[in-house]
Structure 1
Amino acid sequence: MNILLIGSSNTDMVVKTQKLPAPGETVIGGTFLMNPGGKGANQAVAAARLGAHVRLVAKVGNDLFGEQAVEGFQKEGIDTTAIVKDDGPSGVALITVDDKGENCIVVAPGANSNLQPDEVEAAIDACLPGDIVLLQLEIPLATVEHAIRKSAQRGLRVILNPAPAQRLPLDLLSHLHLITPNETEAELLTGIPVTEDNVGRVARALQDMGVTNVVITLGAKGAYILSSEFEGTVGGVAVQAVDSTAAGDCFNGALAVGMAEGLSLPEAVGFACKAAAISVTRLGAQSSMPHRHEVS
């Protein structure tokens, strides 16, 4: 199965601490970790470890972080031929994780901000009709828009994970096969707060905006699905969370794998929930992604 990932690549600098600092507060942390991250790269690693053939389109800096990132992708079996090098620095994320697994993240995009629309075209042209293209919003919106429109024109199944949350052009949504917002992102896109009672209403609002299929992720509670074949919640898997940093990325990478393998949307979401639950029991972003034999 072929999955094209278009997105960001960062180096994550993580500090584990008892509690997240309030504005203006300094707290003494504990363990420090430096790991490869970035939503696009995280999702690529997740999909590759779960058995997909993954090609990653990203831009890294001409520095040690960029070199290490590409080496890491190659070790994961990811096709790196579409990764572009930039003269500036690579992207960096500063992450604090508390003892409940909650986190706060600040990203310096670096080279990610310079990924241009024309730099994604060759990889899209190499895809076959029906292949999956998975994108997020840590690269320029103009590049995301161009990739979505071109992919849809070629008959590819486009999945957009609209994170970090931002508003999108309404006409863009009609080109998506699937959108996968969390509760915050879904509220920003629709203007409707997501609650347990009205999540279906929010999903229908997204579908009314032109998206074919909607999956709203609900954290530990699982995910709500709206499609022509199914509407309802697929429950999550109860675990003791250690670090939720890349849970959403794991979910999206695994969801793409399930869909590429021909699973129904509820089956693919169930598979993704299992993979994401495993990821939150481990520290780090890409380092937390499970392998296929771990997701039964």
Structure 2
Amino acid sequence: MITVFGSINLDIVMPVDTLPEPGETVLGHDYLMIPGGKGANQACATALAGSQTHMFGQVGDDGFATEALRLLDENGVDLSGVVHGEHPTGCATIWVDASGENEIVVASGANMQVNARDVPDSALTKDHYLLLQMEIDPKQNWALIERAHARGTKTMLSVAPAGIVPENILEKVDILLFNELEGQAVARNVGMDEPTPTRLPRAMSERYDLTCILTMGGAGALCCGPDGAWSVPALPISPVDSTGAGDAFAGTLAANLDQGRPIDEALRWAAVTSGITCRTKGSQNTIPSKDDVARELDQLPAIKKLA
């Protein structure tokens, strides 16, 4: 069982030849309106990977809300925990250049009204994984992590976008995910002598007794935890749009752990899912099904166990 607590957005994706510099106007040819938000993306990924998923978040009482929830509903995510409030549905504008790199601006709207009190104890049991991200009020994340830890719920925090994570929260998280920039922000806040990015997962794992995963885009990922350490390659692809790839990785990882796979196998499924997501423009709409991922598992180079 997966409980996802986080953001729900409608993404407006604008393909451009090059990303604009400050003060520069860049013309594009078209745009896409796609369901998004890091919380919703992860919930969609866990559902597509085959896990029963319950989404907790908030949208507005507006036209964007229906579209923002559409793919979650189509993929069988339980939306009974989504509140329809007074603030507008969150919206993200995403610029994607010809190489697949992106820049994103998010208007949080209703996401900043998400409250940990809306998650009942029945969604925080020893049989659940709780997934959280950083697109809502962080105080609500911390309050829910405290409750989940006390009840024995396994927690996974994606530090995306980059933000500060209190040390007492790091001591209660089971799995921590970040990219290089996000990891540096976490390390600075806890006074850690900033190791090189590739050494940070081991340093975090040893200091806080958690599983720490560093995602590195086309260079793959590094994972260090109580069960060992692995170097995870990226799926060989020609990227079109990396939006949502990190969320797809996190959601698929959680779903495979939820289904009983060992972490090295779960990392393999997550890496392939993330790679497939980068082949198409968009975010939530690009996350592949479990069957689609299974067909490409043998295309991923071998995961290396580290000493």
TM-score (norm 1): 0.94
Secondary structure in 2 aligned to 1:142? Answer: helix
C-alpha separation in 2, matches of 1:232 and 1:126:
31
Measure how far apart 1:99 and its partner are. 0.4
C-alpha separation in 1, matches of 2:123 and 2:175:
21
User: Where does 1:140-151 land on structure 2 (aligned, <5 Å)?
Assistant: 140-151=137-148
Secondary structure in 2 aligned to 1:252? Answer: helix
User: Where does 1:199-214 land on structure 2 (aligned, <5 Å)?
Assistant: 199-200=198-199, 202-214=200-212
Percent identity (aligned): 34
Secondary structure in 2 aligned to 1:255? Answer: helix
Match in the other structure for 2:251: 253
Change (3 A) 1:194 1:289: farther
Match in the other structure for 1:154: 151
Establish whether residue 188 from structure 1 lines up as the match of residue 185 from structure 2: yes
Measure how far apart 1:131 and its partner are. 1.4
Establish whether residue 73 from structure 1 lines up as the match of residue 72 from structure 2: yes
Match in the other structure for 1:96: 95
Measure how far apart 1:194 and its partner are. 6.8
User: Where does 1:1-296 land on structure 2 (aligned, <5 Å)?
Assistant: 2-120=1-119, 122=120, 124-191=121-188, 195=196, 199-200=198-199, 202-296=200-294
2:35–2:70 Cα contact (<8 Å) kept: no
C-alpha separation in 2, matches of 1:231 and 1:80:
36
Which structure 2 segments of 5+ residues have no match? 295-307
Measure how far apart 1:72 and its partner are. 3.4
C-alpha separation in 1, matches of 2:61 and 2:254:
30
2:93–2:104 Cα contact (<8 Å) kept: yes
1:190–1:205 Cα contact (<8 Å) kept: no
TM-score (norm 2): 0.91
Measure how far apart 1:266 and its partner are. 1.6
C-alpha separation in 2, matches of 1:148 and 1:100:
37
Match in the other structure for 2:304: none
Measure how far apart 1:209 and its partner are. 4.2
C-alpha separation in 1, matches of 2:171 and 2:194:
22
2:59–2:111 Cα contact (<8 Å) kept: yes
C-alpha separation in 1, matches of 2:292 and 2:16:
28
Q: Which moved more, 1:229-238 or 1:175-184?
A: 229-238
**Over aligned residues, Cα RMSD in angstroms?**
1.4
Measure how far apart 1:208 and its partner are. 4.3
1:173–1:209 Cα contact (<8 Å) kept: no
C-alpha separation in 2, matches of 1:65 and 1:41:
14
1:161–1:252 Cα contact (<8 Å) kept: yes
For residues 216-239 of structure 1, give each alpha carbon's deviation from its aligned partner in whole angstroms, at most 9, with x where no partner exists.
111112111111221131111110
Measure how far apart 1:206 and its partner are. 1.5
**Counterpart residue identity of residue 294, structure 1:** D
